[in-house]
């Protein structure tokens, strides 16, 4: 696997509240994106705390060896609960951080087996020869209205309430985590991103941009550049991985 992560403040926000993680090894990889809630205090702190939980887990794996793939869902759910508790504890200690929260979308990958943990409206996509497939579902007000048939996807584009989340880390003592098993195929690519990309760039344009670049860094740079050209209204974070299922050379 070849993987890279990039983040950009965008053209309008005063600071970057996104965080990401890219860890790849011979038997395990972790890809993650967290988007701190921009309408609240310390969103950057919340996203960093969430990512830190998975970075600590990687350090543990490095010492003790990777888990069996059948345990991925259990592990991810427990780590999400830890991240949620950590954010709530930090907010309780510091009134300046009260109300902070974050999205979190994480993929735990071994070979061609992946489980995604997901809360919020950051996204994970599968990129294959067939096209771009969204693997997650946005936990947003607009997505709920679309699912209920009360709004069309076209009406949702550019809607002023598009950032209202129904689920995020740090907003409740109990967090419901989507756990999504994915069977990959050799040569697939994976894209994890914050909504600073997807609110600016259509899925078909994302697919076209990444297919034009075989190098993951060049692909990630192209996506961030495209989102900024469209206005860059939010922080933009991209984690892009190619050559899935192929072991890293020692």
Binning pLDDT at 50, 70 and 90, where does residue 151 land? low
Collapsing DSSP to helix, strand or coil, 244 comes out as coil
In 3D space, the residue among 135, 127, 134 whose CA is nearest the CA of residue 208 turns out to be 127
CB distance 250 to 206 below 8 Å: no
| Maximal C-alpha separation, the chain | 53
Among 92-96, 119-123, 145-149, 243-247, which is the least confidently predicted range? 145-149
Among positive and negative, which fits the CA dihedral 155, 35, 112, 177? negative
- The predicted-structure confidence for 201-211, as pLDDT tens digits, reads as follows 999 999 999 99
Q: Which CATH class is domain 2-138+168-242?
A: alpha beta
Read off the pTM.
Answer: 0.91
DSSP string, 153-199: HHHHTT-TTTT-BS--BTS-SS---EEEEEE--TT-EEEEE-HHHHT
Binning pLDDT at 50, 70 and 90, where does residue 37 land? confident
DSSP bridge partners of 84: none
Whether residue 159 has pLDDT greater than 50:
yes
Mean pLDDT computed over 80-98: 92
Residue 182, judged by CB atoms within 10 A of its CB (0-12, 13-18, 19+), counts as middle
Measured CA to CA, the distance from residue 185 to residue 82 in angstroms comes to 31
pLDDT number for residue 42: 85
Measured CA to CA, the distance from residue 169 to residue 88 in angstroms comes to 9
* H or E segment to which residue 52 belongs: helix 43-64
- The predicted-structure confidence for 38-69, as pLDDT tens digits, reads as follows 545 689 999 999 999 999 999 999 999 999 99
Collapsing DSSP to helix, strand or coil, 189 comes out as strand
Contacts of 66 (CB under 8 A, 6+ apart): 25, 27, 28, 110
- Token pair, residue 51, equals 């990512």
- The predicted-structure confidence for 1-10, as pLDDT tens digits, reads as follows 999 999 999 9
Among 32-36, 139-143, 211-215, which is the least confidently predicted range? 139-143
pLDDT, averaged across the chain:
90
Domain ranges of the chain: 2-138+168-242
Measured CA to CA, the distance from residue 108 to residue 57 in angstroms comes to 11
Q: Which residue has the higher pLDDT, 118 or 162?
A: 118
């Amino acid at each position: 696997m070849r993987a890279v992560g990039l983040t950009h403040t965008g053209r309008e926000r005063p600071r970057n509240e996104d965080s990401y993680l890219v860890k790849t090894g011979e038997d395990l990889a972790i890809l993650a994106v967290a988007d701190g809630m921009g309408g609240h205090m310390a969103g950057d702190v919340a996203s960093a705390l969430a990512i830190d939980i998975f970075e600590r887990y990687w350090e543990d794996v490095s010492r003790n060896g990777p888990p069996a793939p059948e345990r991925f869902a259990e592990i991810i759910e427990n780590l999400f609960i830890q991240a949620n508790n950590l954010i709530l504890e930090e907010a309780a200690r510091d009134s300046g951080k009260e109300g902070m929260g974050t999205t979190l979308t994480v993929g735990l990958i071994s070979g061609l087996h992946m489980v995604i943990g997901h809360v919020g409206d950051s996204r994970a996509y599968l990129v294959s020869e067939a096209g771009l497939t969204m693997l997650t579902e946005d936990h947003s007000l607009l997505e709920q209205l679309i699912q209920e048939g009360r709004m069309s996807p076209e009406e949702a584009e550019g809607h002023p309430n598009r950032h209202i989340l129904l689920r995020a880390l740090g907003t409740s003592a109990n967090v419901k985590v989507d756990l999504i098993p994915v069977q990959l195929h050799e040569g697939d690519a994976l894209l994890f991103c914050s909504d600073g990309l997807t609110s600016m760039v259509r899925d078909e344009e994302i697919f076209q941009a990444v297919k034009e670049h075989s190098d993951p860094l060049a692909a990630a740079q192209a996506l961030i550049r495209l989102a900024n050209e469209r206005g860059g209204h939010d922080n933009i974070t991209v984690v892009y991985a190619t050559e899935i299922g192929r072991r890293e050379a020692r």
